[in-house]
Amino acid sequence: MHTFNERLADLRTTINAQGDRVLDIVHRAVDCYFDGDREKARAVIALDEEIDRVDVEIERASIPLLGMGVTDEKLIRSVLTIVKVNNELERVADCAVDIAEAVLSDVALPARIPPVFRVMANSVTGMLRDSNRALADGNAALAQQVLLFDDTVAMLKKELMKTAQEQVASGALPVDYAFRLLTITKSIERIADHATNTCEQVIYLHSGLIVRHRPEGWSKPLSPSTTHSPSPSTRSTHAS
């Protein structure tokens, strides 16, 4: 058990560092978009190699732990959570690369990016930051707050799409750029989805409650020893 706990502690340190690394690459990707900086975009793509390397390292280190015969339910959930969150983080990094690759396209930036996009991008990077913090601190309450913010991101996306359509119709936004904006917006939205997936895993780890795939959305987490049914919350389900 002592060896298991030591190896699990090392894995937790590694996954938290990976979370910081992924948050950094997302910040860089968003910045290169706002700045229209192709050099920064190339740097984002280069940084993804290290994230991919650590992704494989975490997966390879996790599998032997599951074969060590540990029967404690929360310890098993801890390993499963690391494996699943590791996958979410790798996909977030892929979204950052998608944004950087869009910046490297030949479509010139318009004079003024729709302001609502900056609000959406800042909101999503905040969700990712808080999902990392919830995982590192074991903070299920913070994880719930991130889940609640998912609907706000959906609202911002809807507003952004409406604004882009209006600007295209008026000639203020080139059609080619509008398509690129849609591509980048989808990447930003997917980052929010991966952040919420991470938070669902945090809730699962510390309560044993599976809150995905529930028709009523997520429910307030309960301790594993609690036997009564949770009260459903009002958050709508999000796309995984």
Residue with tokens 């609640």: 148
Residue 172 exposed, middle or buried by CB count within 10 Å (0-12, 13-18, 19+): middle
- CA 192 to mean position of chain CA atoms: 5
pLDDT of residue 107: 64
For residue 111, give the 3-state DSSP assignment: coil
Angstrom CA distances, 157 to 73, 95, 173, 231, stand at 39, 16, 17, 29
Task: Please write the tens of the pLDDT for every residue from 108-129.
Answer: 665 567 788 889 999 999 999 9
Min mean pLDDT across 31-40, 167-176, 227-236 is at 227-236
- Concatenating the DSSP letter of every residue in 39-107 gives HHHHHHHHHHHHHHHHHHHHHHHHHHHHTS----HHHHHHHHHHHHHHHHHHHHHHHHHHHHHHHTSSP
Rank 141-155, 161-175, 186-200 by mean pLDDT and report only the highest.
Answer: 186-200
Q: Structure tokens of 224? A: 């594993």
Is residue 101 a contact partner of residue 187, using CB atoms and an 8 Å limit? no
pLDDT of residue 15: 98
Q: Which domains does the chain have, with CATH numbers?
A: 2-207 (1.20.58.220)
Between 1 and 181, the more confident residue is 181
Task: Please write the tens of the pLDDT for every residue from 64-113.
Answer: 998 898 889 889 999 999 999 999 999 999 999 999 998 898 666 655 67
- Determine the angle formed by the axes of helices 150-170 and 175-207, rounding to 10 degrees: 180
Is residue 191 a contact partner of residue 124, using CB atoms and an 8 Å limit? yes
